[in-house]
Amino acid sequence: MEDIREKVILVGVDTGVADDYDVCMQELKSLAEACHMQVVGILTQKMEAANKALYIGTGKVEELRELAKMTDAELIVFEDSLTPSQLRNLKDECKLPVMDRTNLILDIFASRAKTREAKLQVEVARLKYLLPRLVGLHDALSRQGGASGSMSNKGAGEKKLELDRRKIEHRITELSKELETVSTERRTQRKRRRNSGIPQVSLAGYTNAGKSTLLNKFVDTYGLPEEKKVLEKDMLFATLETAVRKIDDGSRKPFYLADTVGFINNLPHGLVKAFRSTLEEIKEADLILQVIDFSDVNYKKHMEVTEETLKELDAGHIPVIYVYNKADLCMPEIPRCTDNRIYMSAQDETCIRTLLTLVTDTLYARRIETEFLIPYDKGGIVSELRENAEVLSQDYVENGVRLVVKCSEKEQSKFRMYISE
């Protein structure tokens, strides 16, 4: 069956803020293609500031209309977030549906969401985006198949708009309550992992940098079941759901590894807010692996975006290992480590084992050598220390089991009543 794609024109205004505006437009093109659109034209204009009424100048609007006719375009996508009045005016002028970058990303997220939590998060963000833009967005709503019942019957009258607005606000309240229930379950799971004493590591980075590939290679290398793998595709935002896997190479230095949604330049604030419960996996981590596509010429900009997003999530203080992925495409020999940086390929097992050593050395560097005397009727404590700490020696004495271990401050504090004098 032939893959029929919607024909779109991309439009942007270069105000001189971006170092290379062509990169911004190329990223918009990638987003459109990720939404199964066919880009048939690109139009840009240099201006000190976007036109308040039409985003682009009136002359450029005429040029846009002509380009749309020539290319049989079905939709126009703008590089910036548009105001409600700009959306309405552009739709009237161009006689075509209009979408901005934020709405495009929301569309991608909606198509990728698989779990109930992800679907709730996306719908809340989308409804909050649509709420101030009811006028002039009827076509955009129709394109998305309509959201939940609140958006299925749009009318032109002011009373109808007010009714729609109230319905959307009610729907947001309902969804937010359901999302809070799901988020509470996630927090409970996270608390359980935290109480285990096993360190937590989160993957973070620009979308399509190779985070999911990295997680899957860890699954392969350390013998986890095949079903523990996550979706791995060469496309933007392939992964929306957070996956957490326990990694243990048998050296008594296990850790939890979490894969999270990727970042992108100007990620809509509503999405960051909606996905906050998911992204809390990063905030709660003991260590962050910032995964970077080293083969991308814009990797430094991607690192800046990632670091800005981490600060927004209150995770800027967490120790970081910089994982320069796909380095095999631009370096003769890998892996290569310098301090908290590793140049590697997520496809290479030797690189994965080198990264694991770097991670465990970082996580377990602060472990304290401690001697415990555990009574024989407290066998569960012995088992927990064997699993979570590095056992240096173990002896059976009259009063119990004498264990000399390297453990975290948390474990030392938890079992302090059994520390030998």
| pLDDT per position as a tens digit, 249-262 | 888 788 999 998 88
Q: What is the per-residue pLDDT across 11-69, written as a single tens digit (0 to 9) for each?
A: 999 999 888 899 999 999 999 998 999 999 999 999 999 999 999 999 999 999 999 99
Is residue 184 predicted with pLDDT exceeding 80? yes
Going by C-alpha positions, the residue among 257, 259, 260 that lies closest to residue 271 is 260
pLDDT band, very low/low/confident/very high, at 148 (cuts 50, 70, 90)? very low
Whether 3 shows a pLDDT value over 70: the answer reads no
Distance CA 25, CA 10 (A): 8
Fold match flag (6-96 vs 197-363): yes
Q: From CA 232, how far away is CA 209, in angstroms rounded? A: 11
Is the confidence at residue 248, as pLDDT, over 60? Answer: yes
Looking at the whole model, is its pTM more than 0.75?
yes
Place of tokens 């990223």: 27
What is the mean predicted confidence (pLDDT) over 131-144? 57
User: In sequence order, what are the residues at sequence separation of 6 or more whose Cβ sits closer than 8 angstroms to the Cβ of residue 308?
Assistant: none
- Better-predicted residue by pLDDT, 395 or 240: 395
Is the pLDDT at 210 greater than 70, yes or no?
A: yes
pLDDT-based confidence at residue 234 (cuts at 50, 70, 90): low
Q: Which two tokens stand for residue 58?
A: 């009136």
Lowest model confidence (mean pLDDT) among 72-76, 78-82, 179-183: 179-183
Nearest CA-CA partner of 261 in 286, 287, 230, 284 = 230
Q: How far apart are CA 37 and CA 30, in angstroms?
A: 10
The one-letter code for the residue type at 107 is D
Please answer whether residues 29 and 53 qualify as being in contact, where contact means their C-beta atoms are separated by less than 8 angstroms.
no
Contact assessment for residue 357 and residue 395, using Cβ atoms and an 8 Å cutoff = no
Pairing of strands 37-46, 200-205: unpaired
Percent of the chain predicted with pLDDT > 90:
54
What is the per-residue pLDDT for 153?
A: 45
Query: Is the preceding peptide bond at 335 cis, omega within 30 degrees of 0?
Result: yes
pLDDT number for residue 225: 79
pLDDT of residue 140: 45
Q: Mean pLDDT over residues 364-384, rounded? A: 91
DSSP for 10-75, please give it. Answer: EEEEE-S-SS-HHHHHHHHHHHHHHTTEEEEEEEEEE-SS-BTTTBS-HHHHHHHHHHHHHHT--E
Separation of alpha carbons 392 and 385, rounded Å: 11
Tokens of 129: 């985006």
Judge: domain 6-96, CATH 3.40.50.11060: yes
List the Cα angle 183/184/187 in 5-degree steps.
Answer: 90
90-134 pLDDT, tens digit per residue, is 999 999 999 999 999 999 888 888 888 888 988 998 999 888 887
Q: In this structure, what DSSP letter does residue 197 have? A: T
How far, in Å, CA of 308 to CA of 315, rounded?
A: 10
Contact 55, 84 (CB under 8 A): no
Question: DSSP letter at 192?
Answer: H
Q: Which long-range contacts (CB under 8 A, 24 or more apart) does 245-250 make?
A: 245/215, 245/218, 245/219, 246/198, 247/218, 247/222, 247/356, 248/222, 249/222, 249/356
Q: What percent of the chain has pLDDT over 70?
A: 91
Distance in angstroms (rounded) separating the CA atoms of residues 238 and 43: 28
Q: How confident is the prediction for the chain on average, in pLDDT?
A: 87
Residue 233 is predicted with a pLDDT of 65
pLDDT value, residue 157:
52
State the average pLDDT over residues 213-220: 92
Q: Give me 112's structure tokens.
A: 């990728």
| DSSP code per residue over 346-389 | TT-HHHHHHHHHHHHHHHTTT-EEEEEEE-TT-HHHHHHHHHHS
pLDDT at site 156: 46
Q: Tell me the backbone φ, ψ of residue 30, rounded to 5 degrees.
A: -65, -40
Specify the residue for token string 């901005």: 100
Alpha-carbon distance values, 213 to 106, 150, 202, 331 (Å): 24, 39, 14, 20
What are the domain boundaries of the chain?
Answer: 6-96, 116-184, 197-363, 368-418
The distance from CA 111 to its chain's CA centroid, rounded to whole angstroms, is: 15
Average pLDDT over residues 70-91: 94
The CATH number for 197-363, chosen from 3.90.1640.20, 3.40.50.300, 3.30.2290.10, 3.10.20.30, is 3.40.50.300
